[in-house]
Structure 1
Amino acid sequence: MLGQAVARTASRAGRDGRLRAPCRRAAGRARRQALRAPKVELSGSEKAAILVLSLPDAEARALLERMDADEIESVLGAIPRVEAIGAETQARVLDELRERVEGSAAAAMASPERALDWIDELLPAERAERLRLAAQRDAAPIAWALHPHAPGFVASTIEAEDAQTIALIVSQLPAKRGAAVLGALPAAVRPDVVRRLASLEAVSADVLADVAAGLDELFAERLRAAAPARGVAAAAEVMAALPKPDGDALLDALQQRDEAIAEEIRRSMFTFDHLANVDDRGFKKLLQNVPVEDLVLALKTASPAVRDKVLGNLSNRARQSLLEEEEMMGPKRVSEIEAKQREIVDTARRLAEQGELSLGDDGGEAFA
Structure 2
Amino acid sequence: MAETKEESIIPEDELGIEYPLENGNSSVIYTLSGQQKAAALLVAMDKPTAARFLKYFNSDELRKLSSQVRNLPDIKISDFEKLVQEFEEAFAEGASFSQAEERFTSLVRETLPEDEATAVLDPNQDTDRTDSNVFEIMDHMTAEELQPYLTNEHPQTVAYILSRLPDELAAKVLLAQIPAVRSNIVQRIIHLKPVYAAADVIISQALHSALVRQTESKQKSHYKRIAMILNQLDKNELDAVITSLESIGIEDMSNIRAHMFMFEDISRLTSRARLLLFDEIPVETIITALRNADTTLIELTLASLSQRTRRMVETELATSDIGLSQDKIMRAKREIANTALRLAQQGKISLGAEGIAA
Same fold (TM over 0.5): no
Mark the structure with the bigger radius of gyration: 1
Whose helix fraction is larger, Structure 1's or Structure 2's? Answer: 1
- The TM-score normalised by the length of structure 2 is 0.31
